[in-house]
Amino acid sequence: DQQVKQNSPSLSVQEGRISILNCDYTNSMFDYFLWYKKYPAEGPTFLISISSIKDKNEDGRFTVFLNKSAKHLSLHIVPSQPGDSAVYFCAASLVYGQNFVFGPGTRLSVLP
């Protein structure tokens, strides 16, 4: 049973609009979360993180929101650009853990 779920395998958005990628987790002990972006034939690259003491973290066009009671986090990209087209992975861990549990990924396509 997957502990980290990304229920939308794919998402298409028009350039300039907001992209919202969602992630749900089942383990209430998770307290540190990451988003990675992955282009074809490349390894994942770190995008943004959030710890459970916060409910929002921003980095430029990227904002991650955490709703602990719902065990849900989301990544907002505003405005979306064609170069944002990639697979986005959500990952969760204990802060004092060693490893992450990754979701299956959501493929984002930003259309010009």
Partner 1 sequence: NAGVTQTPKFQVLKTGQSMTLQCAQDMNHNSMYWYRQDPGMGLRLIYYSASEGTTDKGEVPNGYNVSRLNKREFSLRLESAAPSQTSVYFCASTPRGGTVTDTQYFGPGTRLTVL
- Contact mark string toward partner 1, 18..37, x via CB under 8 A: --------------x-----
**Least spacing, CB of residue 4 vs partner 1, in Å:** 7
Q: Phi/psi of residue 6, each to 5°?
A: -125, 100
> In this complex, which beta carbon is closest to partner 1, that of residue 4 or of residue 66?
4
> In this complex, which beta carbon is closest to partner 1, that of residue 18 or of residue 46?
46
Residue type for 1, please?
D
Residue type for 27, please?
N
| Residue choice 43, 60, 83, 112 for contact with partner 1 (CB under 8 A) | 43
59-94 CB burial, b ≥16 within 10 A, e <16: eeebbbbbeeeebebbbbbeebeeebbbbbbbbbbe
- In the region spanning residues 49 to 108, those forming contacts with partner 1, defined by CB under 8 A, are 49, 51, 89, 91, 93-105
Give yes or no for residue 44 binding partner 1 (CB under 8 A). Answer: yes
CA distances from 59 to 12, 41, 46, 63, 65 (A): 22, 25, 12, 6, 12
**Least spacing, CB of residue 47 vs partner 1, in Å:** 10
| Residues binding partner 1 (CB under 8 A) | 2, 4, 9, 32, 41-46, 49, 51, 89, 91, 93-105
